[in-house]
Amino acid sequence: MPDARNSFFDFDVTKMFADFKLKPFDVEAVWAAQRRNLEAFSQANQLAVEGVHAVVKRQIEMTQQSFEDLSTLMREMTQPVSTEDRIAKQTEYTKKMIDKGLNHGREIAMMATKTGTEAAEVLQKRTTDGIDELKAFACKAAA
């Protein structure tokens, strides 16, 4: 008496995929989209590198200025003056350096934020364009 159950090997795959229609997609369009993705990543990376260079350059300028200010203070401190004048000068220098430090930190933070924003905008635009392209691919395939 033959077994009434179908085995796995009796399964007809062609029946399962008979209604499945594979529509070819435009390989060139996909490659072009990927090329644009890489160009956007490259542009964002370039913006980030330029921003880092600008930040480093500005930090070097700030450091040089701080050393010049310190050198000036040290020269002035070697001059014979009264103790009250020396304390007043040190206090004024300390106040000035605290203000400069805060302003420099704010400036560097703004530069870094600007750089990050510019790079993110490039990637965001490409992502939006990529989604639109994907939608267009899907509409072409459905047609």
CA–CA separation, 2 and 18 (whole Å): 29
Res 12 pLDDT > 80: no
Least confident of 8-22, 78-92, 102-116: 8-22
Condensed to tens digits (0 to 9), the pLDDT of residues 18-29 reads 555 555 666 777
CA–CA separation, 72 and 76 (whole Å): 6
- Residue 25 dihedral angles phi and psi, to the nearest 5°: -110, 160
Which residues lie below 8 Å from residue 77, measured CB to CB, with a gap of 6+? 86, 89, 90
State if pTM tops 0.95.
no
Condensed to tens digits (0 to 9), the pLDDT of residues 88-108 reads 988 998 999 999 999 999 999
